[in-house]
Structure 1
């Protein structure tokens, strides 16, 4: 799965996007370094810390803070983003770097509680919890693609959320189920919550992100679920040349970054565990 996610993160942008971004504010920001590496700044007392080096200079965030992460895999992934830059630095392709900078600088003074509240706001309007009340073929498709995702999330979290088939009604979500989801979110650390928020906002769905986070579905499947109605409509009315494909790949890239960022920040010792068992 990680290999598939990494491939999506490295995906080549379309010519249209490249043309636009070459005229962006990043167009004149040339690559100013030759080598990229990761430095182990751990204190020797069991507190891991890793920095990204650009020509032996530690990478700093937009707020001027030296970027240090607890997860070595995350540090390696961020270093890969910087190493992948060519003649010019395109920050719009550096999703993990952007998430790390945001979590480090915390420009909006977020807390675990405020991030959790913002994520919970998507529950009542979750894309996957609103089935169509007309177009039988669309309803059948939603039952095929969405129902297993909802069931999987319910089973994994011991909840019983039920979708609605009318835009006039809201999904059936009990106070107990809300509390269980809230507690699950709060069980994540501050950095991991940034990844979850990024994915939920991208998919407009907590169900899709929760299923993706538990490896119930793949990134491609999560993106398809989030865009199911649009995909259905394009099969009827036709696809706008390259536009819908770009939207799909953009969503896949965002979800890939979200699940990687969440996973790496929730599994700091993954490399050490592997080395210890070798």
Structure 2
């Protein structure tokens, strides 16, 4: 989805096709008539701002693109994009810090839509060990950190599996927004290595795990991604919290022992880790 060009009808039709919905499907979800959807898409009816947002909601259009739809229809944008460090985002930051600290000693990161690391917890030290300093400043990027030869890639035992995981996630993003920075990440770290060589998970596994060699021994991690429910701010909608968990008991022991004898670190905006 290129977005940002064409009439509001053209853009809505693109989103409808992307969601693989008929005009009747969209009409039923938006609780309007199929005829009205047709008139809007063909430009024979000028929708109100409320109608644009109703159709966008039914199509699950991201807030950033809802603003573009409103602009195409001749209306002002409705959704702000605030810096995470802005004063009115303090409650969000506090919630994120709580999540990150509660997850220690396991690694956790807060990322923006371009995979730039905004906040971390102390467990991320495991993912930073031995990484080239250039990949950590001015801001780490989880794709680069994982797949760059100067990052974790040489230490990841199942690098093909991990790369294919990033391939799937980046492809989904690019299907909705051909963002140049995400495109660059895909073209640099994924496209040259697409070979379909990733093996299927072992029969006894319930999730795919990343195997990572640490200075002590190999650990196995899987992750979950958490987002905010019903956000009304673009920044907030595009924030993701990735929480890493031990995939076996030995890894859990290694991560727990890494925290032994010291107070776990807090978190800082900008991907920094506060010392104990």
TM range (shorter): under 0.3
Q: TM-score, normalization: structure 2?
A: 0.24
Larger Rg, first or second structure (1 or 2):
2
Give the alignment's TM-score, normalised by structure 1. Answer: 0.24
Higher-helix-fraction structure = 1
Higher strand share: 2
